[in-house]
Amino acid sequence: MSGDPIYTEMIIEYSRNPSNYGKIEDAHIKRHDSNPLCGDSIDLYLNIDGKKISDVKFDGKGCAICMACSSVLTEMIKGKSLEDIKKFEKDELLSELGLEHLIKTSPVRIKCALLSLKALKYGIYSYFAENMNDVESAGNLKEEAANLY
Amino acid sequence: MIKIQANTYSLEEIRSHFPVLNRRVRDDKRLVYLDNAATTQKPNQVIDAITDYYQNHNSNIHRAVHALAEESTEAFEATRDKIAKFLNIQNREEIIFVRGTTEAINLVAYSWGRDNVEKGDIVVTTEYEHHSNIVPWQVLTQETGAELKYINIDDNGELMLEQLDEYLATGKVKLVAISHVSNVLGTITDIHNVIKKCKNVGVKVLVDGAQAVPHMKVDIDNLDCDFYAFSAHKMLGPTGVGILWARKDILENMKPFQGGGDMIREVHKYETTWNDLPYKFEAGTPNVADVICFAAAIDYLAKIGMDNVRNHEIELTQYALEKMSKIKGLTLYGPQDPQKASGVISFNFNDVHPHDVATIIDKNGVAIRSGHHCAQVLMEKLNVAATNRASFYIYTTKDEIDTLIDSLEQVAKVFKL
């Protein structure tokens, strides 16, 4: 295979042994999302301590890209503050796995890569805006989630 | 070598009629197109017909008296006659042009369903339906308070028809909506048996023939169902053309699906009388160009002969099943008997997600479908998120199936299987 690689050692390894895979019982935030056309389907679980992510896990079924990106995302956001999440861009996640090229080369597979990030932004938004009634803290996360791909 | 009977085209000739099959894709790889259950490629005969229409005849139909309008109307109606002949339909006015199978089924669900299905009634469908033959019935039954029941599939991917007997025995079934051929498993429904059971107790049958008409001889008169739906683009024709066939007596008693031009006889300020069949159900300017060039697709298939189409697919499926059943870690879904299925093979490869399989083999130019194939109910039943699906057609070669199989080795290598 040539061109920009997708199936790197790292992606395969993460898809075989995903990080932070599993459930958090009674999580503060549980967000389900799926890509209707390809069958990726994940649940993201988050615990919030003040305005920090104190714990995060995910589970579900998905392709190697979805599994790897969800793994890396959970690793990257654990302990991060709400403000950090608001600033978190998709490029940060994609470049961690060398998948920036997907934005241009594969409008289909980019959805696999960003599914968990979308779930994260929506999840945090609804936690603050709806559960905590704190629309200010929730900020633009909903719009950001909607415009990810 | 594959046997396409003499007096028709050879496989080589067939392939030469499809310009896209010469395409190189990705890194200059020969295109191996195995996604025919999604849509088929189009031969020059069809492509030329649409060009000819727009270059020489383009006009609206059924109204104006000028030369182009007459030519277009004649060609448009000629397709209706061609379909009647191709499928042994006795009354041409029972053939309604719609956008596709989905619209055909929705037309029935809205126009017939809302006047004939009420609280307490049952609509029966199956676990291997496409979403287009599930969702309209969910909407209808939820709206009316009727109940939706499923005929389950067994481990071979065949319907457990004894469940149909149980449902029919309740005396509450108003309609059985069922695929002639499963779009995921390729399973050919024992459709004559289903229709006979329903007819015996006066229950209406809608057949989704989207995966049947392109692949085998279908005789509507002989089938004796009530509604039959299919799409042009899965049988060499253009997208945006579908056909709903329904019995005249049923259509006459149905209200129109959409109101507008062409479907009326007289319009006054507060009342309208409907046009005759089939126009009562063809509101607005139809897809004139594509309906006209669909005739070229029917001619093409008729020239090959549907028995030859079917035999070619049986031979390919046999070949593919023999080879694929020997691949370690490969799970096949659906009937393993080519006589019981159309040219569709659904599979999973070890625990590699189908999207990863499809992306990797796409680099070799191999186009298959991966996903849930608009059949999530079936995916749940099979307990998988998705499958890979390779589907064949008249131009598919054994050599292409070999390329698919060789490409799977690439997947094994990438995933270190």
Answer whether B372 sits within 8 Å of A2, measured CB to CB. Answer: no
Q: Report the percentage of chain A scoring pLDDT > 90.
A: 74
Pick from B359, B385, B416: CB nearest A6: B359
Inform me whether the pLDDT recorded for A2 exceeds 60.
no
Answer whether A1 sits within 8 Å of B360, measured CB to CB. Answer: yes
Identify the domain containing residue A59 by its residue range: 9-116
Which residues does B7 contact at the CB level (< 8 Å), separation at least 6?
none
Nearest-5° Cα angle at B214, B221 to B288: 85
Answer whether B360 sits within 8 Å of A64, measured CB to CB. Answer: no
Tell me if A110 sits within 8 A of A102, measured CB to CB: yes
Determine phi and psi for A106, rounding to 5 degrees: -145, 85
Inform me whether the pLDDT recorded for B243 exceeds 90.
yes
Residues of chain B contacting residue A38, judged by C-beta atoms under 8 Å apart? 355, 370-371, 386
Least confident of A18-32, A92-106, B212-226, B297-311: A92-106
Distance separating alpha carbons of residues B198 and B94, to the nearest angstrom? 21
Inform me whether the pLDDT recorded for B107 exceeds 50.
yes
Taking alpha carbons only, the member of B179, B235, B168, B188 closest to residue B207 is B179
Determine the pLDDT at residue A35: 87
Residues of chain B contacting residue A39, judged by C-beta atoms under 8 Å apart? 353-355, 371-372, 379, 385-386
A50 CB neighbour count, 10 Å cutoff? 7
Determine phi and psi for B346, rounding to 5 degrees: -100, 135
The strands making up A41-49's β-sheet, listed across from edge to edge, are A29-34, A41-49, A52-61
Residues B300-324 have a mean pLDDT of: 97
Taking alpha carbons only, the member of B320, B318, B330, B317 closest to residue B408 is B330
Determine the pLDDT at residue A149: 87
Least confident of A30-44, B250-264, B353-367: A30-44
Q: Is B331 helix (H, G, I), strand (E, B) or coil?
A: strand
In a domain, A133, yes or no: no
Residues B20-36 have a mean pLDDT of: 96
In a domain, A126, yes or no: no
Pick from B359, B371, B415: CB nearest A109: B359
In a domain, A21, yes or no: yes
Pick from B363, B385, B414: CB nearest A61: B385
Inform me whether the pLDDT recorded for B2 exceeds 90.
no
ipTM of the complex: 0.84
Q: How far is A57 from chain B (nearest CA, A)?
A: 20
Determine the pLDDT at residue B34: 98
Q: Could you identify the residue written with the tokens 């896209």?
A: B20
Determine the pLDDT at residue B67: 94
Domain count, chain A: 1
Answer whether B415 sits within 8 Å of A39, measured CB to CB. Answer: no
Inform me whether the pLDDT recorded for B7 exceeds 70.
no
Q: What is the DSSP letter of B113?
A: I
Q: Annotated catalytic sites of B, by residue?
A: 374
Answer whether A2 sits within 8 Å of B410, measured CB to CB. Answer: no
pLDDT in tens, A30-71: 999 998 767 789 999 999 998 999 999 999 999 999 999 999
Distance separating alpha carbons of residues A57 and B364, to the nearest angstrom? 36
Residues A80-87 have a mean pLDDT of: 92
Distance separating alpha carbons of residues A141 and A129, to the nearest angstrom? 10
Which residue of A7, A41, A69, A108 to mutate against B (max B Cβ within 10 Å)? Answer: A7
Residues B265-285 have a mean pLDDT of: 94
Residues B164-169 have a mean pLDDT of: 98
Determine the pLDDT at residue A66: 96
Pick from B386, B414, B416: CB nearest A38: B386
Determine phi and psi for B404, rounding to 5 degrees: -60, -50
In a domain, A147, yes or no: no
Determine the pLDDT at residue A1: 44
Inter-chain contacts counted by CB atoms under 8 A, chains A and B: 53
Determine the pLDDT at residue B385: 85
Q: How far is A62 from chain B (nearest CA, A)?
A: 7
Q: Which residue of B has its CA nearest to A112?
A: B355
In a domain, A129, yes or no: no
Residues B315-328 have a mean pLDDT of: 96
In a domain, A30, yes or no: yes
In a domain, A148, yes or no: no
Distance separating alpha carbons of residues B262 and B71, to the nearest angstrom? 18
- Look up residue B278 and give its two tokens: 């089939």
Tell me if A125 sits within 8 A of A141, measured CB to CB: yes
Q: Could you identify the residue written with the tokens 């990797």?
A: B360
Which residues does B390 contact at the CB level (< 8 Å), separation at least 6?
B34, B35, B320, B344, B345, B347, B368, B401, B404
In a domain, A149, yes or no: no
Inform me whether the pLDDT recorded for B157 exceeds 80.
yes
Q: How far is B105 from chain A (nearest CA, A)?
A: 21
Distance separating alpha carbons of residues B333 and B349, to the nearest angstrom? 11
**β-strand partners of B346:** B333, B389
Inform me whether the pLDDT recorded for B104 exceeds 80.
yes
- Look up residue B231 and give its two tokens: 């799409």
Answer whether B372 sits within 8 Å of A112, measured CB to CB. Answer: no
Q: Is B371 helix (H, G, I), strand (E, B) or coil?
A: strand
B212 CB neighbour count, 10 Å cutoff? 22
Report all structural domains of chain B as residue ranges with CATH numbers, in order of start.
11-42+305-414 (3.90.1150.10), 48-302 (3.40.640.10)
- CATH number, domain at A27? 3.90.1010.10
Taking alpha carbons only, the member of A105, A115, A139, A98 closest to residue A36 is A115
